[in-house]
C-alpha cells in the first residue's frame, strides 16, 4: 500500500483511508459487529492504516467498534476521531445534534473517545463542525493543551472555511482538513485547496464517491429507506439522481478504457489532484473495499485528467448536498 504524508505534520498514512461511519450510523441500522470487525481486520491486512470515526457516529457505537477491532493493531494504525456535537440530546439522527465546542466540553469528549478507542493518545482529533458560538482560538487552545498533556497527537478541522483554517493554524499547526470533495462536490478547489497548500496542511476528502452515487450503483429508481441519511438530501431525490447520471456516464466511459470501475476512476482522480490528499471512502462490504484499494493501481495521465476536467465542466450537478440547516454548518 502506498503511503502519503498529511501536509507538513509528519503524519504518514496509507494513501487511502477507511471511513467507518456507515458501519454504525447514517446508512440504515448499525451493521453486524462481527462482520464489521472482520472488515476492519481485512483493511489492515491489505495495508490500510488510516481509520476515521467520530463521537457522534452512533453516538459512541462507532468509536467502540473501531477501538475494539483495531486494538490488536494499535502500533500500526492511525485512528482519527472528532468532537464538536452535543450528543447529550435524545435525537441521534445525522446532523440533529447541536454544536458544542466549548473547551470544557472538548476535554470531556476526548476522555470519552480515549476510553472507547482504547488508546492513550488520539492520533488525529478533528473539530467536527465549526461552532460559531466559540472563537476558534479557544477551541484550538483547548486542543493545544491536550496535545501538551500527551492525549492528542495532531489536530484538524472539518468543513471549515479559509479564515477559520488560518486562525486555527496560527495557534496550533493543523495536520489536516476533512471536507467533502469529489467529482460532484468541487467547492474546495476555489479557496480551500490553495490555502492548504500554502500552509502545509493535508486534505482528507470524505464522501469521495459521492455517498455511493459515483460508484454507478444508483439511479432514479433507487429506493432509499427512511433510516438512510441520503433520503433527506436534495441531491438524492429521484429527479436529481436522474439529472446527475451524465457524471456516471463520464466516469463509466473512462473506466471502460482503463479497465477499471467508475468508483476507481473517481478515487484515482482525487488521488491525482495533490500528493497530500488522502480520501477516506467508507464501505461495509469487502468487495467494495478491494475495489476502492484497486484505485491506487489506476494511472490517470495528464491527458486523462484534462479530459475528465473539461467533460465535468460541462455537467451541472443538480441538488444541494445538504438540507439548508446542515449546509449552514459548512464553510464557516
pLDDT tens column, 276-309: 999 999 999 999 999 999 999 999 999 999 999 9
Number of domains in the chain: 1
Q: d(Cα 102, Cα 93) in Å, to the nearest integer?
A: 22
The DSSP bridge pattern shows strands 78-83 and 122-127 to be parallel
Q: d(Cα 233, Cα 321) in Å, to the nearest integer?
A: 6
27 is catalytic: no
**Residue 305: HSE in the Cβ half-sphere, 13 Å Cα cutoff:** 13
The pTM score is 0.97
Query: What pLDDT shows up at residue 39?
Result: 98
| Residue 322 in domain | yes
**For residue 96, with 0-12 CB atoms within 10 Å meaning exposed, 13-18 middle and 19 or more buried, which class applies?**
middle
Q: d(Cα 73, Cα 88) in Å, to the nearest integer?
A: 31
Query: What pLDDT shows up at residue 93?
Result: 73
Query: What pLDDT shows up at residue 215?
Result: 96
Query: What pLDDT shows up at residue 214?
Result: 97
| Domain that includes residue 65, residue range | 3-327
Exactly one of 57, 126, 181, 322 is catalytic; name it.
Answer: 57
Query: Is residue 293 a contact partner of residue 16, using CB atoms and an 8 Å limit?
Result: yes
CATH of the domain at 159: 3.20.20.100
Cβ neighbours of residue 115 closer than 8 Å, sequence gap 6 or more: none
Nearest by Cα to 57 from 99, 27, 32: 27
- Phi, psi at 279, each rounded to 5°: -70, 150
Query: What pLDDT shows up at residue 247?
Result: 95
Q: Angle at Cα 301 formed by Cα 298 and Cα 306, nearest 5°?
A: 120
Give the residue ranges of the chain where pLDDT is below 70: 90, 92, 94
Q: Scanning the structure block, which residue is given the C-alpha cell 500500526?
A: 76
pLDDT tens sequence across 109-138: 999 999 999 999 999 999 999 999 999 999
Query: What pLDDT shows up at residue 91?
Result: 72
Number of helical H runs and strand E runs in the chain: 12, 9
Query: What pLDDT shows up at residue 25?
Result: 94
Q: Angle at Cα 42 formed by Cα 39 and Cα 43, nearest 5°?
A: 90
| Residue 281 in domain | yes
Cβ neighbours of residue 286 closer than 8 Å, sequence gap 6 or more: 39, 42
Query: What pLDDT shows up at residue 33?
Result: 97
| Residue 332 in domain | no
| Residue 263 in domain | yes
Amino acid at each position: 500500500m502506498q503511503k502519503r504524508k498529511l501536509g507538513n505534520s509528519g503524519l504518514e498514512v496509507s494513501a487511502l483511508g477507511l471511513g467507518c461511519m456507515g458501519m454504525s450510523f447514517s446508512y440504515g441500522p448499525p451493521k453486524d459487529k462481527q462482520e464489521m470487525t472482520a472488515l476492519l481486520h481485512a483493511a489492515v491486512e491489505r495495508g490500510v492504516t488510516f481509520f476515521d470515526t467520530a463521537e457522534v457516529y452512533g453516538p459512541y457505537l462507532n468509536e467502540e467498534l473501531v477501538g475494539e477491532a483495531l486494538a490488536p493493531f494499535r502500533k500500526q494504525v492511525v485512528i482519527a476521531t472528532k468532537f464538536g456535537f452535543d450528543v447529550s440530546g435524545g435525537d441521534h439522527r445525522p446532523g440533529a445534534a447541536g454544536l458544542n465546542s466549548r473547551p470544557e466540553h472538548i476535554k470531556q469528549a476526548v476522555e470519552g473517545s480515549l476510553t472507547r478507542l482504547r488508546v492513550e493518545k488520539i492520533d488525529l482529533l478533528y473539530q467536527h463542525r465549526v461552532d460559531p458560538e466559540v472563537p476558534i482560538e479557544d477551541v484550538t487552545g483547548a486542543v493545544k493543551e491536550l496535545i501538551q498533556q500527551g492525549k492528542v497527537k495532531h489536530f484538524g478541522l472539518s468543513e471549515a472555511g479559509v479564515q477559520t483554517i488560518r486562525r486555527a493554524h496560527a495557534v496550533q499547526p493543523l495536520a489536516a482538513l476533512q471536507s467533502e470533495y469529489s467529482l460532484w462536490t468541487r467547492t474546495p478547489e476555489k479557496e480551500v485547496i490553495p490555502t492548504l497548500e500554502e500552509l502545509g496542511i493535508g486534505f482528507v476528502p470524505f464522501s469521495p464517491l459521492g455517498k455511493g452515487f459515483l460508484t454507478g450503483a444508483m439511479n432514479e429508481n433507487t429506493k432509499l429507506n427512511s433510516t438512510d441519511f441520503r433520503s433527506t438530501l436534495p441531491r438524492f431525490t429521484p429527479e436529481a439522481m436522474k439529472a446527475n447520471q451524465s457524471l456516471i456516464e463520464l466516469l463509466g466511459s473512462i473506466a471502460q478504457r482503463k479497465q477499471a470501475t467508475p468508483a476507481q476512476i473517481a478515487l484515482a482522480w482525487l488521488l491525482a489532484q495533490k500528493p497530500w490528499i488522502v480520501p477516506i471512502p467508507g464501505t461495509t462490504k469487502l468487495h467494495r473495499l478491494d475495489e476502492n484499494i484497486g484505485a491506487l493501481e489506476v494511472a490517470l495521465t495528464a491527458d486523462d485528467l484534462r479530459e475528465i476536467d473539461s467533460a465535468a465542466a460541462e455537467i451541472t450537478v443538480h441538488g444541494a448536498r445538504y438540507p439548508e440547516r446542515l449546509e449552514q454548518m459548512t464553510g464557516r
